[in-house]
Amino acid sequence: MEHIKKYIQEHKDRFVEELIDLLKIPSISADPTYKHDVYACAESVKEHLIKAGANKVEICSTKGYPIVYGEKIIDPQLPTVLVYGHYDVQPADPLELWESGPFDPVIKTTDIHPNGAIFARGACDDKGQMFMHVKAFELMMRTNSLSCNIKFMIEGEEEVGSDNLGDFVKSNKSRLECDAILISDTGIIANDTPSITTGLKGLSYVEVELTGPNRDLHSGLYGGAVANPINILCEMIASMKDENNHITIPGFYDKVVELSSQERADMARAPFSLEQYKMALDINDVHGEEGYTTMERTGIRPTLDVNGIWGGYTGEGAKTVIASKAFAKISMRLVPNQTDEEITKLFEDHFKAIAPKSVKVEVHPHHGGKPYVAPTDSPAYLSASAAMESTFGKKPVPIKSGGSIPIVALFEKELGVKSILMGFGLDSDAIHSPNEHFGLFNYFKGIETIPHFFSKFRELNQ
């Protein structure tokens, strides 16, 4: 496979320049201000697919942002790999915490990335990782080594819940027919410790609104006599976990499968340093459900977190006021057998049940998603494992992630095909945070590994 390394060596500067150009487009799907940029980004992905040699490249419009499709069918008898990724990114704020502009990519070295990393919103999640596939495809086309049929489906609404991808998948089942779905939108443990993600969490996301008095009140004249919705909201949220950080919503754990001690022992074999973890986050201690390790808390246990909470006066100085309303955004990450519909309902019933009569409560569900588990004995897993082993020189370990890609469970349901999560990011790459970055080592390693996946996948499907 010398041709792979040679091609990357000859084209690496251009590979970086092209990614940088893509990262300059602020394709923030959550904020309508950037609508034109999101469309422009789809256009750019389309052009790149065409240039790399894809056929039937099309910008497929949806009720929301478009999906870019393209394919190269070399022989209908051969296996087909569907590559999924997203070209939309998270909002960049808080802007003041970025050391360089979020859409003004720069390359800098860090302790973890001594060979440099590209700093920009979307560098790792997911433009950099999605673009590795476009460049690996170009490489396979130019070196005449494409060994399977390939289809691309690159969407623009992943960061806002993929609301329209489901319809697209349902109405394009034959176009999307494939033998495996390959996704790079997750991470590896470390640059010297490759891993493959075999589990993703589901998600239930709600916004709650508490209303106390019909207007903001003087906190002296009314304080102590009227319910303060902010105080009440805090009490209600605090009561949703007990002293062991166990979630108290009745029925919440009913469907959660406990792992066997063997499975837990297997999980514990993945390299993890609690000391380094704490140091990287500048925390004195970790915090979570009693009886579980940090890896188990993020990988296999369902969680509940407040993502935002607001109400009352938050401006300069002091204003003595009891607010009429208080709000919070709350996410619950789900594990296999929990469904977002059920958990959202349990949350809503419980939240309303624990509210005192002195406040009115509304619960607004947002997008949700199902958890996902990937087998470790499928041709796709074995191909990814072999591919990573040949490029990293080490067999990757299977890991369960705390992150969610809700559409993966839907692919399985609608297309009957499992996805393989062969990502190349690091947890420390700051996705969704200020100063997001993607290591050049990781970018090139991804481009190098993908062609190995394709040749192994063909071999295992013969």
Closest by CA position to 110, among listed 339, 459, 436, 450: 436
Q: Are 284 and 290 in contact (CB under 8 A)?
A: no
Residue 85 touches ligand BES, criterion: CB under 6 A: no
Q: Could you give the residue ranges of the DSSP H alpha helices within 199-339? A: 229-238, 261-268, 274-281, 294-299
For ligand BES, which residue of 186, 195, 298, 383 counts as binding (CB under 6 A)?
186
* CB 431, min distance to Mn ion, A: 6
Give 243's contacts (C-beta < 8 A, 6+ positions apart): none
Q: 251: phi > 0 → left, psi -120 to 50 → alpha, else beta; which? A: left
Q: Are 102 and 120 in contact (CB under 8 A)?
A: yes
Cβ distance to ligand BES smaller for residue 406 or 439: 406
Tell me which residues in 273-302 interact with ligand BES (CB under 6 A): none
Tell me which residues in 349-388 interact with ligand BES (CB under 6 A): 367, 369
The CA distance from 137 to 321, in Å, is 60
**Contacted entry of ligand BES, Mn ion, none for residue 311, CB cut-off 5 to 8 Å set by kind:** none
For ligand BES, which residue of 405, 410, 420, 450 counts as binding (CB under 6 A)?
405
Closest by CA position to 430, among listed 57, 59, 125, 99: 125
Tell me which residues in 199-238 interact with ligand BES (CB under 6 A): 203
Containing H/E element for 442? helix 440-460
- Contacting residues toward Mn ion, per CB under 5 A: 125-126, 185
**Contacted entry of ligand BES, Mn ion, none for residue 396, CB cut-off 5 to 8 Å set by kind:** none
Closest by CA position to 122, among listed 98, 94, 164, 91: 91
Residue 451 touches ligand BES, criterion: CB under 6 A: no
Minimal CB distance to ligand BES: which residue?
403
Cβ distance to Mn ion smaller for residue 80 or 428: 428
Residue 157 touches ligand BES, criterion: CB under 6 A: no
The CA distance from 38 to 29, in Å, is 7
For ligand BES, which residue of 44, 80, 383, 404 counts as binding (CB under 6 A)?
404
Cβ distance to Mn ion smaller for residue 125 or 157: 125
Q: Six-digit token pair at 134?
A: 């476009």
Cβ distance to ligand BES smaller for residue 187 or 311: 187
Q: Which stretch binds ligand BES (CB under 6 A): 23-31, 75-83, 167-175, 180-188?
A: 180-188
Q: Are 372 and 203 in contact (CB under 8 A)?
A: no
For ligand BES, which residue of 155, 157, 159, 340 counts as binding (CB under 6 A)?
159
C-alpha distance from residue 68 to each of 107, 151, 230, 419 (Å): 28, 10, 44, 19
Phi, psi of 52 (to 5 degrees): -75, -20
What is the biggest distance separating any 2 CA atoms in the chain, rounded to whole angstroms? 80
Residue 125 touches ligand BES, criterion: CB under 6 A: yes
**Contacted entry of ligand BES, Mn ion, none for residue 102, CB cut-off 5 to 8 Å set by kind:** none
Strand-pairing partners, residue 241, are 247
Cβ distance to Mn ion smaller for residue 185 or 340: 185
* CB 254, min distance to ligand BES, A: 24
Q: Which stretch binds ligand BES (CB under 6 A): 145-153, 231-239, 400-408, 448-456?
A: 400-408
Give 114's contacts (C-beta < 8 A, 6+ positions apart): none
Q: Six-digit token pair at 286?
A: 């970790």
* CB 384, min distance to Mn ion, A: 18
Residue 429 touches ligand BES, criterion: CB under 6 A: no
For ligand BES, which residue of 401, 428, 442, 455 counts as binding (CB under 6 A)?
401
Instruction: Write out 384-438 in H/E/C secondary structure.
Output: HHHHHHHHHCCCCEEEECCCCCCHHHHHHHHHCCCEEECCCECHHHCCCCCCCEE
Cβ distance to ligand BES smaller for residue 70 or 406: 406
Q: Are 212 and 323 in contact (CB under 8 A)?
A: yes
* CB 334, min distance to ligand BES, A: 11
Residue 126 touches ligand BES, criterion: CB under 6 A: yes
Q: Which stretch binds ligand BES (CB under 6 A): 18-26, 96-104, 179-187, 348-356?
A: 179-187
Residue 436 touches ligand BES, criterion: CB under 6 A: no
What separation, in Å, do the N-terminal and C-terminal C-alpha atoms of the chain show? 20
* CB 319, min distance to ligand BES, A: 34
Q: Could you give the residue ranges of the DSSP H alpha helices within 203-254? A: 229-238
Q: Which stretch binds ligand BES (CB under 6 A): 230-238, 306-314, 370-378, 403-411?
A: 403-411
The CA distance from 240 to 183, in Å, is 35
* CB 165, min distance to Mn ion, A: 13
Cβ distance to ligand BES smaller for residue 7 or 205: 205
Question: For binding to ligand BES (CB under 6 A), which residues are involved?
Answer: 125-126, 158-159, 161, 185-187, 203, 367, 369, 401, 403-406
